Amino acid sequence: MAGMKKIWMFAICLTIGLSSCDDFLELSPTDLLTDDNALVTLDDFRQALNGCYSGLTSGAYYGGAYIVVADRMSDDLRRSSENLGEGVQMHSYTFNASTAEPATLWTQLYSVINRANIIIGKIDEVEGSQGAKNSIKGQALFIRALAHFDLVRYFAEPYDATPDASHLGVPVMTQSMIGQPARNTVATVYDQVIEDLLNARSLMVETGIGPYRATPLAATALLARVSLYAHDWEAAKQYATEVINSGVWTLATGDLYRNIWTTAELNNEVIFKLMMLQNNAAIGQNYWSQSNDIVSFNPTQDLINIYDQVNDVRFKSFIGIRQPNDPDNVVTKYRGAPLDYPLDQRPPIDGLTDIKILRLSEMYLIRAEAHFELEDQTAARNDLNAVRVARIATFNPATDGNESGSALANAIMIERRRELAFEGHRWHDLKRKGLPIIRGADCSATQCELEAGDYRFTLPIPQVEFSGNVNMVQNPGYDAN
DSSP codes joined into one string, 395-409: --HHHH----HHHHH
Q: What is the pLDDT of residue 29?
A: 35
Whether residues 7 and 115 fall in one domain: yes
Whole-number CA gyration radius for the chain: 22
Domain boundary among 286, 320, 353: 353
Where residue 154 sits, what CATH number does that domain have?
1.25.40.390
State how far the Cα of 474 lies from the Cα of 455, in Å rounded to an integer. Answer: 12
Task: Convert the pLDDT of each residue in 96-152 to its tens digit.
Answer: 999 999 999 999 999 999 999 999 999 999 999 999 999 999 999 999 999 999 999
Q: What is the pLDDT of residue 393?
A: 96
In a domain, 27, yes or no: yes
The dihedrals phi and psi of 84, each to the nearest 5 degrees, come to -95, 10
In a domain, 230, yes or no: no
How many CB atoms are located within 10 Å of the residue 402 CB?
A: 11
| DSSP-based three-state secondary structure for 205 | coil
Q: Is 231 or 259 the better-scoring residue by pLDDT?
A: 231
Task: Say if CB 47 and CB 17 are below 8 A apart.
Answer: yes
Q: What is the pLDDT of residue 14?
A: 39
Task: Say if CB 40 and CB 125 are below 8 A apart.
Answer: no
Q: What is the pLDDT of residue 432?
A: 98
Whether residues 144 and 53 fall in one domain: yes
**Range of lowest pLDDT (20-24, 377-381, 455-459):** 20-24
State how far the Cα of 258 lies from the Cα of 279, in Å rounded to an integer. Answer: 25
**Range of lowest pLDDT (66-70, 258-262, 403-407):** 258-262
Domain boundary among 353, 377, 400: 353
In a domain, 289, yes or no: yes
Task: Say if CB 462 and CB 1 are below 8 A apart.
Answer: no
Q: For residue 32, name the pLDDT band (cuts at 50, 70, 90).
A: very low
Q: What is the pLDDT of residue 22?
A: 32
Whether residues 160 and 20 fall in one domain: yes
In a domain, 50, yes or no: yes
Q: Is 20 or 432 the better-scoring residue by pLDDT?
A: 432
| DSSP-based three-state secondary structure for 179 | coil
Whether residues 281 and 168 fall in one domain: no
In a domain, 396, yes or no: no
**Averaged confidence pLDDT in the chain:** 88
User: What is the mean pLDDT of the segment spanning 194-220?
Assistant: 91
Alpha helices in 260-344 (DSSP H): 301-304, 313-318
pLDDT at residue 7 is higher than 70:
no
342 preceded by cis ω (within 30°)?
no
Whether residues 57 and 193 fall in one domain: yes
State how far the Cα of 92 lies from the Cα of 111, in Å rounded to an integer. Answer: 28
Whether residues 62 and 175 fall in one domain: yes
Whether residues 177 and 300 fall in one domain: no
In a domain, 437, yes or no: no
How many CB atoms are located within 10 Å of the residue 394 CB?
A: 9
State how far the Cα of 390 lies from the Cα of 77, in Å rounded to an integer. Answer: 25
Q: What is the pLDDT of residue 289?
A: 79
User: What is the mean pLDDT of the segment spanning 27-56?
Assistant: 75
Q: What is the pLDDT of residue 23?
A: 34
- Terminal Cα distance for the chain, rounded: 15
Whether residues 177 and 60 fall in one domain: yes
In a domain, 335, yes or no: yes
Q: For residue 10, name the pLDDT band (cuts at 50, 70, 90).
A: very low
Enumerate the β-bridge partners of residue 77: 299
**451 CB contacts (<8 Å, ≥6 apart)?**
436
State how far the Cα of 432 lies from the Cα of 345, in Å rounded to an integer. Answer: 39
- Domain total in the chain: 2
Q: Do the strands 297-299 and 77-79 form a parallel or antiparallel pair, or are they unpaired?
A: antiparallel
Single out the residue of 193, 22, 217, 224 nearest to residue 109, CA to CA.
Answer: 193
Q: What is the pLDDT of residue 404?
A: 98
State how far the Cα of 193 lies from the Cα of 209, in Å rounded to an integer. Answer: 24
Task: Convert the pLDDT of each residue in 180-197 to its tens digit.
Answer: 899 999 999 999 999 999
Whether residues 201 and 57 fall in one domain: yes
State how far the Cα of 384 lies from the Cα of 387, in Å rounded to an integer. Answer: 6
Enumerate the β-bridge partners of residue 33: 14
Whether residues 196 and 308 fall in one domain: no
Q: What is the pLDDT of residue 321?
A: 84
Q: Is 6 or 185 the better-scoring residue by pLDDT?
A: 185
In a domain, 382, yes or no: no
Q: What is the pLDDT of residue 208?
A: 64
User: What is the mean pLDDT of the segment spanning 349-377?
Assistant: 93
Give the Å distances, CA to CA, from 425 to 55, 203, 418.
20, 29, 11
Whether residues 159 and 32 fall in one domain: yes
Task: Say if CB 127 and CB 45 are below 8 A apart.
Answer: no
User: What is the mean pLDDT of the segment spanning 142-167?
Assistant: 99
Domain boundary among 304, 319, 353: 353
Tell me the residue range of the domain where 158 lies.
Answer: 2-78+87-205+456-466
Whether residues 287 and 199 fall in one domain: no
